[in-house]
Chains A and B, each alone.
Chain A
């Protein structure tokens, strides 16, 4: 995601959204096609589950459709989509935690969703080692408070700058920096605790 000033597709997106508001179904399909891969990837990184990510992405696009006539052009459209998606995914995670709590089926130690590789790994040991690393990362991310997890995912996996994260989450750049520092402190502690598991996985790989 580039900055507003350097975003060549920003105006085109807003123009497309204006057509959607006027009832142009093809414009909506084109908008979805343009952003679907990034949005699904974002949801998958938050939720850790492909099917749930597809469901969440669809909901976010439908929200965009419903608000097409009321959304004011400001910055990049995808920043707005990111913001809605992050909030939507965090709400889903809250619901998921609530269901776990109510059903008493698990807790903080519950295994995260199975992480399947998107493409064929070259060989089984490599694949296994990769899965171990993904599981370890998922455990670490799940242990972070929501607001810190959001900035880590946006910075590390979406490659957003602090300024872009601030715009996406509607907070100041100082708040982004502060959350990242606190997240790094937690990550350091969590990584030390998870290190033996990762090391075991590597030894087997």
Chain B
């Protein structure tokens, strides 16, 4: 960055020393002067009120719960109670299921026992004539 460029920029931005009288306008100074944008119009009517309304709506949404302790506490208590009820119900359902499973297991065991007993009886009756044949000369 050259010193003359720095001085030029300082002159343009901070109103530094003006160029000597009668001196030709430098290229950066001309460019700087020619930069032009349309004049910005002010805020439309009601802009501030609209922004404030949106801010207030955000605030209500964000702070309504902590700012209303009575119903917030009530809601929390309800949630705890609901949790207890749901938990207890699940526990009961589980207990019922266990009983049903135990009953089923018992009946399955009984069936198995009956089947084994039946098979034993069948085998015995089949084995008896064979034994008789052996005995019979």
- Residues on A lying within 8 angstroms of B by beta carbon are 23, 25, 28-29, 32-33, 36-37, 40-41, 44-45, 50, 53-54, 57-58, 61-62, 65-66, 115-119, 130, 133-134, 137-138, 140-141, 152, 155-157, 161-162, 177-178, 180-181, 184-185, 187-188, 191, 198
- Say whether A188 contacts B48, CB under 8 Å: no
- Can you identify 6 A-B contacts, CB atoms within 8 angstroms? A116-B38, A118-B39, A130-B36, A161-B14, A177-B10, A178-B1
- Say whether B9 contacts A156, CB under 8 Å: no
- Say whether A188 contacts B37, CB under 8 Å: no
Expressed in whole angstroms, the Cα–Cα distance for A130 and B12 within the complex equals 22
Contacting residues, chain B, for A155 (C-beta < 8 A): 12-13
- Say whether A177 contacts B6, CB under 8 Å: yes
Of the candidate stretches B51-59, B70-78, B105-113, the one touching chain A is B51-59
- Say whether A29 contacts B32, CB under 8 Å: no
In the complex, whether B43 has a CB less than 8 A from a CB of chain A is yes
Expressed in whole angstroms, the Cα–Cα distance for A191 and B32 within the complex equals 10
| 9 closest cross-chain pairs (CB), A and B | A41-B40, A32-B48, A36-B43, A118-B41, A65-B55, A29-B52, A37-B42, A155-B13, A33-B48
Contacting residues, chain A, for B83 (C-beta < 8 A): none
Expressed in whole angstroms, the Cα–Cα distance for A115 and B36 within the complex equals 11
Shortest beta-carbon distance from B87 to chain A in Å: 39
Give 1 or 0 for each of B1-28: 1 = CB within 8 Å of chain A CB: 1000110111011100000000000011
Give the interface SS of chain A, mostly helix, strand, loop or mixed: helix
Shortest beta-carbon distance from B13 to chain A in Å: 4
B side interface size, CB within 8 A: 35
Expressed in whole angstroms, the Cα–Cα distance for A155 and B28 within the complex equals 14
Contacting residues, chain A, for B59 (C-beta < 8 A): 23, 65
- Say whether B13 contacts A191, CB under 8 Å: no
Contacting residues, chain A, for B38 (C-beta < 8 A): 115-118, 130, 134
Contacting residues, chain B, for A25 (C-beta < 8 A): 52, 55-56
- Say whether A32 contacts B8, CB under 8 Å: no
In the complex, whether B31 has a CB less than 8 A from a CB of chain A is yes
Set A115, A133, A187: member contacting B31, Cβ < 8 A: A187
Contacting residues, chain B, for A41 (C-beta < 8 A): 40
**Known contacts A161-B13, A181-B6; A188/B1 CB under 8 A:** no
From B35, B36, B54, name the one whose CB has the most chain A CB atoms within 10 angstroms.
B35
- Say whether B43 contacts A191, CB under 8 Å: no
**Known contacts A140-B35, A155-B12, A162-B10; A32/B52 CB under 8 A:** yes
From A116, A162, A178, A180, name the one whose CB has the most chain B CB atoms within 10 angstroms.
A180
- Say whether B55 contacts A157, CB under 8 Å: no
- Say whether B9 contacts A184, CB under 8 Å: yes
Contacting residues, chain A, for B56 (C-beta < 8 A): 25
Shortest beta-carbon distance from B62 to chain A in Å: 9
- Say whether A45 contacts B13, CB under 8 Å: no
- Say whether B28 contacts A119, CB under 8 Å: no
